[in-house]
Structure 1
Amino acid sequence: MTKPSLFVEVHILQSLPPSNINRDDSGTPKQALYGGARRARVSSQAWKRATRIQFAQSEEPADRATRTKRIASLLAARLASPTDKGGAGLDGADADRLAAALLEPLGITKSSKKEEQSAYLLFFGKRQLDSLITLLDGRAGEFLALPEKELKEKVAGLDVISALSTGHPAEVALFGRMVADLPALNVDAAVQVAHALSTHAVRTEFDYYTAVDDENSEDNGAGMIGTVEFNSSTLYRYAVLGVHQLRENLSSDASTRTSAVRFIDAFARSMPTGHQNSFAHRTLPHLVLITVRTDQPVNLVSAFEEPIAGHAGLAAESAVRLADELTATGQTWGSDPDCKLATYALDADKLADAFGPSHAFPALLDEVDHLVGAWLADGQLPQTATEPDGAR
């Protein structure tokens, strides 16, 4: 019997000081018009990359993924490494030739501007390069002895596409891969990330700065003058993880369970790095709310369609508004989450009514691990998932 879908949603409220973490082509912090008010915006792409970088920090280097146009040079370098380290011990020219032949079935063409790069970015696991080398079965010299036409025919008999279509690292399984020219390499993403929006209206401000020339003793003028645009905001961030899709992309229940928990941890702790040296903007969330559903995901951004006025602090008012939206959505649509877990440091009785008690974040992750494990085991969610710490 096929298991039902399982969606683990992450709702975050997080305040940023003056910062410019995600700018447009003119250097202005990205914005969006929502509910008739100008909002601070951080693109989903920016926060997905920040999450992926955070996620990779706890991965072994060999188990990480990379997104690059340089797959040919990476594969050639692996072929040139010694055999006792998993390579083929080839010299540079032979490694380049064999790498090009192995990648030809993938339709990876050279960039018109840079010969050493492919025409598009490819997202893959570093261990998947080892799988390509394994296909040679120690016969690299035999392959290289063939003339070009016969080499291509020989490589065509290898299951090169399968080597990059199986054994995905967690990062590829989570964030997916799309290759328009070769759909067989596509991986459906298990994660969707919304553009982060401020819960209130924002106004762009300008930091006028000067830099002093330390070796200038002739006058008192600045060595450099400029401006940086910035804003400050309380953001609503939302992501949803389809555990059923993650399990399909990975090789085991254990890796699915671990990757689900680590994704939530990475998403909550991650931060885009734009202008970070100028603003030191790294903060942690006021609130992390996990809602678990088996029907469909529900983004609660409608809570902020009317912008928060901020009479008693933006974060506290935003949290109460989010609690109201969660309750109203359940009552109106009959679509309450199957489980709710929350971590928050805001003093509001109404939050406990809507979100349940606040768990320390490590305890929240333990609860997520428990409920995902239970669902993977028998397709059921544990009734204890929303109980406070120590209840189980």
Structure 2
Amino acid sequence: MIIELHLLQSFPTSNLNRDDMGQPKSVTFGGAIRGRVSSQSLKRSARTLFPEVGLAEGETAKRTKRLLQQAANRLVPDGRGEAGNEDRTVVREALRQMGFGVNGATDLTEYLLFVKATAVDSLAEHCKENRERLLKDAAKREKDPKGSEKKKPDSETLKVAKTILDARRSVDIALFGRMIADNKDFNVDAASQVAHAISTHAVAVEFDFYTAVDDLKPDAEAGADMIGTVDFNAACYYRYANLDLGQLRRNLFGTVPELKAEDEDLLKRATSAWLNAFVRAVPSGKQNSMAALTQPDALLAVVRDSGAWNLANAFLNPVEGTGVMETSTRRMWEHFSELRHFYGDDGIRTVAMASLSGDLDALGVPRQERADTLPAFVGKVLGEHGG
């Protein structure tokens, strides 16, 4: 079963997601330059909200390059102080045997590893139990000219690594997946697909020229002590994400035929957290100086047996004029209705539509598919699917 979420959200002066030049990200769509917010930015924003929408700390994961340092610190007796060279050598060797490259100068892994909270303790426990062997292997490797080369783990080491990096019951890994290029055995297929948000209309990047004055400068001295510019835009974005409940279940619990009561509870809370977090997610870029902290104005959710419809083509021709949100809401609903009419809606189980400023009567939204509040919207979407 698939849950789709379509949102229209307008932001005033903002730079939510910057490119390498510091400008708001953009894309050319329908022959016009649009504002863009990357899917990675939106997923990060949603992940940070999970503790606020029903998930406990142990049910989420961390992205880090610092697995070595964290595990090595667990090897220090009574947890006092920083790990010594020998402790770091033990963990470094364990990671290398598992197939993870480690920078010898910084002790950082080659790339960010997405691991759940128990991974550090599990890795530390493995290192404690195999300390002497790992130290001998490390010394032997240092004498070998090819010792620094990465090698695929043997079957026994792979089994240990899979236990340490077990992603089951970790909601954000289950939702967004995990890819480790050199160790495909640890990959997890994402249950949620997230699109880059794009503006429904053409945008132009503008800039703010600012100055700052030294508060302790003598009154006789004139002029600014700092000058600069900050790029920004203002846009109404179409946001889209979907969630495959079957894949979420498999990622969280494997292929068990029946779930325990506590597993059913986690599955429901994970689904609810996904929905509530994505509705509330706002990227953090330049928020301290621009405070573009808005909420979605139009919300459309579809629960279907299979398949998925991204409604971005409703805005292939950029919206024009001053009634951007009203026109965008109408276009989104009309495009969905046209797809529904042409392709059929036999597989559609639930539709929920809400609009803070739009006229749902004028749009022709059926009464049974409307929601007047966010709790009502969430309730319609989840129902027996994870309420």
Task: Report the CA distance shift for 1:225/1:91 in structure 2 as closer, same or farther (over 3 A).
Answer: closer
For 2:377, the equivalent position in structure 1 comes to 364
- Inter-CA distance 209–145: structure 2 relative to 1 (3 Å threshold): closer
1:41–1:196: 8 Å Cα contact kept in structure 2? Answer: yes
Q: Match for 2:203: what amino acid?
A: V
Question: Percent sequence identity over matched residues?
Answer: 37
Tell me if structure 1 keeps the 8 A contact 2:298–2:329: yes
Of residues 324, 333, 337, the one that matches 1:327 is 337
TM-score normalised to structure 1 length: 0.83
Q: 1:357 to 1:98 in 2, by over 3 A?
A: same
Partner of 2:115: 124
Which structure 2 residues correspond to residues 245-256 of structure 1 after superposition, within 5 A?
A: 245-251=247-253, 252-256=263-267
Give the corresponding residue for 2:225: 223
Is the CA contact 1:39–1:200 (under 8 Å) kept in the aligned structure 2?
yes
Deviation at 1:79, TM superposition (A): 3.2
Aligned partner of residue 165 in structure 1, secondary structure: coil
**Which 10-residue stretch deviates more, 204-213 or 47-56?**
47-56
Q: Which runs of 5+ in 1 are unaligned?
A: 1-5, 375-392
Could you say what secondary structure the match of 1:124 adopts?
strand
Q: Give CA-to-partner distance per residue, 1:286-343, whole Å, 9 cap, x none.
A: 02211111120110111111111134x2111111111100100011122463211233
- Give 2:161's aligned residue: 160
* TM superposition shift of 1:173: 0.8
Which residue pairs with 1:214 in the alignment? 215
Moved more, 88-97 or 182-191: 88-97
CA distance in 2, matches of 1:154, 1:88: 35
Give me the TM-score of the superposition, normalised by structure 2: 0.84
Shift of 1:88: 12
Of residues 239-248 and 91-100 in structure 1, the stretch that sits farther from structure 2 once superposed is 91-100
Structure 1 residue 236 and structure 2 residue 232: aligned?
no
Distance 1:334 1:107, change over 3 A: same
Match in the other structure for 2:28: 33
Letter in 2 for 1:48: K
- Is 2:330 aligned against 1:350? no
Q: Taking structure 1 as reference, are residues 48 and 143 closer, same or farther at Cα in structure 2, changes over 3 Å only?
A: same
Query: CA contact under 8 A between 1:123 and 1:172: conserved in structure 2?
Result: yes
The Cα offsets for residues 200-224 of structure 1, whole Å up to 9 and x where unpaired, read as 1111111111111111123220111
Letter of the aligned partner of 2:335 in structure 1? E
> Is residue 83 of structure 2 the alignment partner of residue 73 of structure 1?
no
The corresponding residue for 1:379 is none
1:100 to 89, 92, 95: 92
Instruction: Supply the distance in 2 between the matched residues of 1:145 and 1:256 (Cα, whole angstroms).
Output: 42
Per-residue displacement from partner, 1:108-157 (whole Å, max 9, x unpaired)?
A: 11226x43111111111111333334557x74667678675799999849
Q: Which has the higher mean CA deviation after the structures are superposed, 161-170 or 37-46?
A: 161-170
Q: Which amino acid aligns with 1:280?
A: A
Q: Report the number of matched residues.
A: 362
**Aligned counterparts of 1:81 and 1:174: Cα–Cα separation in 2:** 37
Using the alignment, how far apart are the partners of 2:38 and 2:11 within structure 1?
A: 15
3-state DSSP of counterpart to 1:310: coil
1:88/1:140 contact within 8 Å kept: no
Change in Cα spacing, 1:78 to 1:60, as seen in structure 2 (3 Å) is farther
Please say if residues 178 and 186 of structure 2, whose CA atoms lie closer than 8 Å, have aligned partners that are also in contact. Answer: yes
Between the aligned partners of 1:18 and 1:145, the Cα distance in structure 2 is 56
- Work out whether 1:173 is the aligned partner of 2:153: no
Which residue type is aligned with residue 240 of structure 1?
N
Residue 348 of structure 2 is aligned to residue 340 of structure 1: no
Deviation at 1:65, TM superposition (A): 1.2
2:258 maps to what in 1?
none
**How far off its partner does 1:240 sit?**
0.7
* Residue in structure 2 matched with residue 385 of structure 1 by the alignment: none
Aligned partner letter, 1:236: Y
Supply the distance in 1 between the matched residues of 2:123 and 2:80 (Cα, whole angstroms).
11
Contact between 1:106 and 1:161, CA under 8 Å: does it hold in 2?
no
Structure 2 residue identity aligned to 1:76: A
Contact 2:353 2:365 in 1 (8 A): no
Partner AA of 2:266 in structure 1:
S
Q: Distance in 1 between matches of 2:57 and 2:76?
A: 19
The one-letter amino acid paired with 1:219 is E
CA distance in 2 between partners of 1:296 and 1:199 (Å): 24
Separation of aligned partners in 1, 2:80 and 2:208: 55
Which residues of 2 match residues 369-380 of structure 1 at below 5 A? 369-373=382-386
Distance 2:110 2:173 in 1: 20
Summarize the Cα distance change of 1:70–1:320 in structure 2 as closer, same or farther, 3 Å threshold. same
Could you tell me which amino acid in structure 2 is paired with residue 131 of structure 1? S
Deviates more, 1:363-372 or 1:205-214: 363-372
| Residue number among 287, 291, 302 corresponding to 1:291 in the alignment | 302
Q: How far apart, CA to CA, are the structure 1 residues paired with 2:87 and 2:58?
A: 20
- TM-superposed deviation, 1:8: 0.6
SS at match of 2:234: strand
| Cα offset, 1:352, TM superposition | 5.5
